[in-house]
Structure 1
């Protein structure tokens, strides 16, 4: 009988311990649920009341700092583009919007915008670098991107001009600039330079030399060795026209047609043949 009583007591102890463990686990689960609930509520408040909270803790922008090396960009243009920024909320201000406004300026290639505590907006600007003129009144950078300043200074007007369709992609415009470099290099030994280079449909090229003479080059292919050799031969024939040994009235030349395989045709300014 005593043995049965002992077993009964032990059974009650085990049930009690098991009950305590269940209660502890339940309390732990409830704490976790409560914690997650509180976090979700806090996030919900932050999301729904974000603007109100920002207004409470925000403070106005006190200054704008512009950095970068500029040859053509006027810092006042940047300030004007960001009119109204000083005094706006330091935290609430959309930096992407600031970047877009600055990069909308013709002479800005790219801009990096950052906040500097307590109230400064800092801009690091990379200025555009023009490698040629593009059509009328615009410029081209080395990536084939066209930009159009309000006016072109005299030092920009000496850049060679590329002429082509406004529908050309940046890569095609870049190809035109590369072709210009090849032509310039080929004519250099004859003391000639290119004032303008035009790409017409069907890969037809025309150029105007710095002395005003127009040259019809026809098709140019630089992708293979044969095309490169054909171009070298064309440039040699054009160059020889201007050599002193050619005994030609160079000043009276209006146009040279270099599309022929073995020679050139010359059009004279006064109709001379």
Structure 2
């Protein structure tokens, strides 16, 4: 006997989305309101009259950088933004372009202030007559004429641009040997052939060559300790030998000039 099973399937029809002109008008109104809000906010952020960066605070242990220098550096930024739009990195780049500035940290402080914290280069030597070295041997091109009184007697170093750290380190390593004789090194020269030359505060020039620097300096120290008052008549001492040294003496005119300089001093 066959039986038939009738399965009744019901389909529920989803309601159609009704979108009237009222809904469309409301949607357009909301979109327009959002766009207007965005443009108004951007305009408000860019309005220098509403959020001007009108003040800056300078901080740091400073001797050579003044507030007028920082103000001048910042004034070269065009256009200058508002509190909301001005890029801090741009401010930092402008301030670090100042020759005495080693590094700068800058932040904005609500509502209108730029806070600038600076670290200066500390001059350790005059480099090639027209630049300076900091304590790390890095070259910076500040005005040598701006050196304060306490820095004006710093050593003068000369050499190829790539050898600034080496020349500074060498001066630091050898100066104590001359100090033990009551002498100071006023100049250190590393020439293009990588030969060393020293000028001492008593006017003597030492020719040391390229090799055996320490041994030649020690030879000078021993020689100098046995010199008498004639040391004042020495022009140079050439130590570029395996042993001994060659001494160059001042001419009569040079001795007379040296005496006159000491008399004026």
TM-score band w.r.t. shorter chain:
0.7 to 0.9
Aligned length: 228
| Residue of structure 2 in register with 1:233 after alignment | 215
CA contact under 8 A between 2:205 and 2:236: conserved in structure 1?
yes
Q: How does 1:15-34 map to 2 (within 5 A)?
A: none
SS in 2 for 1:202: coil
C-alpha offsets along residues 137-193 of structure 1, whole Å, 9 cap, x if unaligned? 32101233222333233322211111123xx23xx2111111111121332322222
**TM-score (norm. length: structure 2):** 0.74
> Which residue does 2:168 correspond to in 1?
177
Partners of 1:49 and 1:202 lie apart in 2 by 68
- Which is helix-richer, 1 or 2? 1
Question: When the two structures are superposed, what TM-score results if normalisation uses the length of structure 1?
Answer: 0.72
For 2:155, the equivalent position in structure 1 comes to 160
Quick one: distance in 2 between partners of 1:84 and 1:200? 40
> What's 1:36 paired with?
none
Match of 2:129 in 1: 136
What is the Cα deviation at residue 107 of structure 1? 1.2
Q: CA deviation at 1:209?
A: 0.8
Residue 83 (structure 2) pairs with residue 90 (structure 1): yes
Q: Deviations over 1:114-156 (max 9, x none)?
A: 1111121111100111111111132101233222333233322
* Structure 1 range deviating more: 67-76 or 254-263: 67-76
- 1:216 Cα deviation (Å)? 0.6
Q: What corresponds to 1:72 in structure 2?
A: 64
Contact 1:133 1:157 survives alignment (8 Å): no
- The Cα shift of 1:51 comes to 6.0
The correspondence for 2:93, drawn from 90, 100, 105, is 100
Q: Quick check: 2:132–2:140 contact (8 Å CA) kept in 1?
A: yes
- Separation of aligned partners in 2, 1:216 and 1:236: 13
Which of these residues, 231, 234, 241, is aligned with residue 260 of structure 1?
A: 241
Q: Indicate if the aligned counterparts of 1:186 and 1:232 stay in contact, CA closer than 8 A.
A: no
1:255 alignment partner, SS class: strand
Cα distance, 1:53 vs structure 2: 6.7
- Tell me how large the CA RMSD over aligned residues is: 3.2
Q: 2 CA distance for matches of 1:101 and 1:133?
A: 25
> Which stretch of structure 1 is more off in the superposition, 118-127 or 143-152?
143-152
* 1:186 equivalent in alignment to 2:168: no
Partner of 1:29: none
Cα separation, 1, equivalents of 2:40 and 2:219 = 76
